[in-house]
Chains A and B, each alone.
Chain A
Amino acid sequence: MSYITKKLSAFKKKETYAHFLKTLRYSLYVIGHPADGYWDLIHAKRGSYAAANFMVILAMLTHIWKLRYTSFLFINVNWEEVNVIKEFATILLPLVIFVICNWASTTLFDGKGHLGDIYMGTGYALTPYCLLQIPMIIMSNFITKDEGAFYEVLNTVSFVWVLVLLFMAMMMIHQYSFGKTLLFTFITIFAMLVFIFIMMLFFSLISQGVAYFVSLVREVIFRLN
């Protein structure tokens, strides 16, 4: 209880916000200077979880805004069939699985990063996505289909930038060489596939187990009546 109250009381202090804004502003430095920026993010403690959380939430919101407000010339979405929870999950689930799998695979091969560090690095890496996609949503409503090339290019740039940042984050956080980072990128992808496979197996088993007991109880109720 005291932990929660301590955390809550921090919200009243002005320094908390100052620190949050400072670390958030630091993300702008990170996306421009990934090598230097990520090193300091972890080792000089210039990042914060609050800023990382903020970036992740903003990325999820950006994804929804993108579906809702982009001109239908570029993204044709049937808004009535969009499931917001599902759309949040399309950002959040890969992120969480990536963080866990990356930590799980690198920690065995002297990766220096903690789980939290990896999460923070990944959160900061989402900055260019938000930074580019939000102006693009506005821009898309002022351009025609013929000028769509601008949109496509910016769209690609935003994704490639994020991927480059992720790669650099892994390299700096784990203190790996370039080759080793490349190797562990592939290992992480493989681990993610294994993770998803096991999860699906787990869920199908659980649901069958639950279904068994549900039918058992139903049968008993039926007999008792």
Chain B
Amino acid sequence: MNRRRLIITIASLFTLCAGLFAVGDTYIYDVWNNIEKSPDVYRVVDVIYAEDFGLDKKFSAPANIFCNDNKLFVVDSGNNRIIEAEYTASKKIQYIRTIDSFNAPDGIVNTFANPTDVFVNKDGSYFIADRDNGRVVKLDKDLNYLLTFIEPDDATYEKGKTFLPEKVVADAKGRAYVLARNVNKGFIKYEDDGTFTGFYGASEVTYEWTDYIWKKFSTRAQRDQMESFVPTEYSGCYMDPEGFIYATVKTFKPWELLSDQAKPIRRLNALGDDILIKDEVPPVGDLQWGTSVGLDSPSHFNDVTVLENDIYVVVDENRGRIFGYNNQGYLLYAFSNSGNIEGFFRLPAAVDHINRDLFVLDQTNASVTVFTPTKFGHMIYDATDYYAKGEYDKSAAEWEQVLKLNGNYDLAYEGLGKSYLRQNKYKEAMEYFKTKRFRKSYSKAFMYYRKEWIEAHLGAVMLVLCIIIFTPFIVKFIRNFVRELKSL
């Protein structure tokens, strides 16, 4: 009796604790767009609140975080300050300073009003989106005022609304790209001296021809009621090391996602066109939306960050999820969820990274969650890294390890297949590609295999071809011969 009670106690304890540690929720989508569970790719190092920095006031609606080298900046919008901290090699965060004012000449306000973003350029200069002051200020590394980017005074800019800059990135030459609320023409681009030079990366205006016809037949009053054909606004942006801007979009029609018309994640080139490489299934976050907790809508990305080898990570505010994609647009992992426990989010507003560690800002919870890759996560990154460097054997060895931990990790099959392809072992490569239906790679391997096969069996192939071509002639000849014999 006593023993049974003990067993029941232990069992129930385990069941209770399972809920506490139920963070093992990493998954990928397989070739049939079904969820495949995966070992964890990231684990939580720490969840940081304002108190952990030794600050009196809690974060109030923090809008953004920014990472540069090993520095971490938290934009504490509600308290009009920016916290600068250092991320040490032992994965600890050390408070450095609070930026709430700067050295400015007379006549210029030297404090912030609801700052929403900070960007630190390679030369150490700060770009701070000072939202309620309607400006983006540029400071040097000692916080001396350099210049401000103000509301454009240009014919192309529609005036009459308050100028509310929300996000800012800058390129190596000091040109600033600003996203402002209510401006839907894309990024506002400034030269390094603060002059407005136009809009950049406006998403193309899309409309259905049915809408167009419908509009033709409606009255002016009805037309005004209707949604006008306007391009969408960006929700987050990131300047990658090559100088391309990654941006996310939250407003789109859900049915346009899989046909790649919605483009929730974009990589913009100098002309402002989307040049993101996509797989057969474009990177759109969750593919199965389900109906749990009343959520049946697609992922809505709030921010994007780009790791080494063009691996990009986005956060979904809808389900509090994080998605990682490789440079081919293939899903590497998806994890986390909405919730209060460590590693889950209530409203993930921003994401950034230092090396392979991710920092996710939870706006509602006023905290920063620090993630570091697990062994499995490092394997995936290493394999990608080796492949990008051209060390295919090492890459294959890593994928081999990945498969040992997770036989359902589809990308590993492609990785191994590609390595066989490099070694001219086409038959094996085809096997791997076929297992997980990598059409493009399979087609390529098959092309080489077919060529090799035909070359190896050239004699036989030629013989068969000759037979096919000459059989009718021979038959005809024999028939004629027989006929002539008979007529003799």
Q: A residues engaging B (CB < 8 A)?
A: 72-73, 76, 78, 81, 142, 144-146
Contact = CB atoms under 8 A, between A and B. Distances in A.
Contacts of B444: 144
A76 B280 CA distance: 12
A144 B32 contact: no
B447 A144 contact: yes
B413 to A, nearest CB: 14
B437 A146 contact: no
B450 A142 contact: yes
B486 to A, nearest CB: 29
Given A73-B442, A145-B443, 6 more contacts: A72-B434, A73-B439, A76-B439, A81-B32, A144-B446, A145-B439
A20 to B, nearest CB: 29
A72 B437 contact: yes
A76 B450 CA distance: 21
Given A72-B434, A72-B437, A144-B450, A78 B32 contact: yes
B159 interface: no
From DSSP, what is the main secondary structure of chain A's interface residues? loop
A81 B34 CA distance: 12
B328 to A, nearest CB: 16
Contacts of B32: 78, 81
23 contacts: A72-B434, A72-B437, A72-B439, A72-B442, A73-B439, A73-B442, A73-B443, A73-B446, A76-B437, A76-B439, A78-B32, A81-B32, A142-B450, A144-B443, A144-B444, A144-B446, A144-B447, A144-B450, A145-B439, A145-B440, A145-B443, A146-B443, A146-B447
Interface string B423-446: 000000000001001011011101
A144 B430 CA distance: 12
A119 B442 CA distance: 43
Interface in B405-460: 434, 437, 439-440, 442-444, 446-447, 450
Contacts of A145: 439-440, 443
Contacts of A146: 443, 447
- Residue picked from B434, B437, B443, B444, most chain A C-beta under 10 Å: B443
Contacts of A73: 439, 442-443, 446
Contacts of B439: 72-73, 76, 145
B430 to A, nearest CB: 11
A203 B447 CA distance: 51
Nearest to A141: B446
B407 to A, nearest CB: 17
A142 B443 CA distance: 10
A78 B32 CA distance: 7
Nearest to A148: B443
Nearest to B434: A72
Contacts of B442: 72-73
B176 to A, nearest CB: 44
Interface string B445-481: 0110010000000000000000000000000000000
Nearest to A72: B437
Nearest to B449: A144
Leading 3 A-B pairs by shortest Cβ distance: A145-B443, A144-B443, A144-B447
A142 B434 CA distance: 15
B280 to A, nearest CB: 9
Interface string B361-396: 000000000000000000000000000000000000
Interface string B212-226: 000000000000000
Contacts of A144: 443-444, 446-447, 450
A81 B30 CA distance: 15
Contacts of A78: 32
Nearest to B433: A72
A142 B461 CA distance: 14
A146 B439 CA distance: 11
A139 B437 CA distance: 19
A145 B437 CA distance: 13
Nearest to B447: A144
Contacts of A142: 450
A145 B445 CA distance: 11
B330 to A, nearest CB: 16
Contacts of A72: 434, 437, 439, 442
Contacts of B437: 72, 76
A79 to B, nearest CB: 11
A144 B444 CA distance: 7
A33 to B, nearest CB: 24
A145 B280 CA distance: 13
A96 to B, nearest CB: 31
A73 B447 CA distance: 12
A22 to B, nearest CB: 25
Contacts of B434: 72
